[in-house]
A and B are shown apart, each in its own frame.
Chain A
């Protein structure tokens, strides 16, 4: 497998004749980590696919404006996260007329999702994670599922390492309290 060389890819992306193949290499390298990050936030595979495709199209359209102030991966993560927030906000706006919350609907659709293999406890855990505010949920999923370094998270989210650690600590406490409460009934 060809090693990923960010500076070479960036150089190729600036040349019209090599742009397309460089982008394909970029998609090949980043599609999996970006997919899982989005999927843990939107839960459904179909929604994750839509958000990921939109994020990659944005990356393709705006790659000429990437000035190299940050790492390419950081920039791509930011775009993917923005697309995820946009999706969640749109869904919330669409769901306003409904009596059920978006989070409840997401858990309900997870029960019938062929690409979810969790048991009752896993379903409750997803419910507990969904009870967190969006930013805290993002921090939680990045650390708990992807085991991302706080330094990398700090670059992507523009938040200090200390604040991220505190946010994750509180998120764990909240999720555990929710699960303890659920299991006691």
Chain B
């Protein structure tokens, strides 16, 4: 039975060149005319619009320059302020050094911290 079926299959082999390649597909009437106008409409729709350059783009460099100018002004002000403070401090130090030394100042300077510590360490001092 199976052998007979295989034999039948071999006898009825499908051949493409015997069928022919007739077109079984069709399309709507006037399709290609309609396609032209559909494409025309799509091209018009997809046409890129020339956008006007917004105003803020031309103002941007000016804004940057203004910001930099303000920053520079603050920097110069800060530097000048610091220089003035330093000058005042050095003037004060100079003034102090020119003050005449008193007898107490001299004694403190000549004794020194080492001598003072010796007084505390040497027990004979407390006897």
Which A residues fall within an 8 A CB radius of B? Answer: 20, 23-24, 27-28, 31-32, 35-36, 39-40, 43, 45, 49, 52-53, 56-57, 60-61, 115-118, 121-122, 125, 144-145, 172, 175-176, 179-181, 183-184
Contact = CB atoms under 8 A, between A and B. Distances in A.
Given A27-B39, A52-B35, A125-B19, A183 B27 contact: no
A70 to B, nearest CB: 23
B77 interface: no
Contacts of A172: 16
B38 interface: yes
B17 to A, nearest CB: 9
B5 A184 contact: yes
Interface of B: 5, 8-9, 12-16, 19, 21, 23-28, 31-32, 35-36, 38-40, 42-43, 46
Secondary structure of the B side of the interface?
Answer: helix
Contacts, number: 75
A53 B42 contact: yes
Given A20-B43, A57-B42, 19 more contacts: A27-B35, A31-B32, A31-B35, A35-B27, A36-B25, A40-B25, A45-B28, A49-B31, A53-B39, A53-B42, A115-B27, A115-B28, A125-B19, A145-B23, A172-B16, A175-B16, A180-B12, A180-B14, A184-B9
A122 B24 contact: yes
Contacts of A125: 19
Contacts of A144: 16, 21
B32 A117 contact: no
Contact of A28 (B27, B28, B36): B36
Contact of B25 (A56, A115, A121): A115
B38 to A, nearest CB: 6
11 contacts: A31-B32, A49-B31, A53-B35, A53-B39, A53-B42, A57-B39, A115-B27, A176-B15, A180-B9, A180-B12, A183-B14
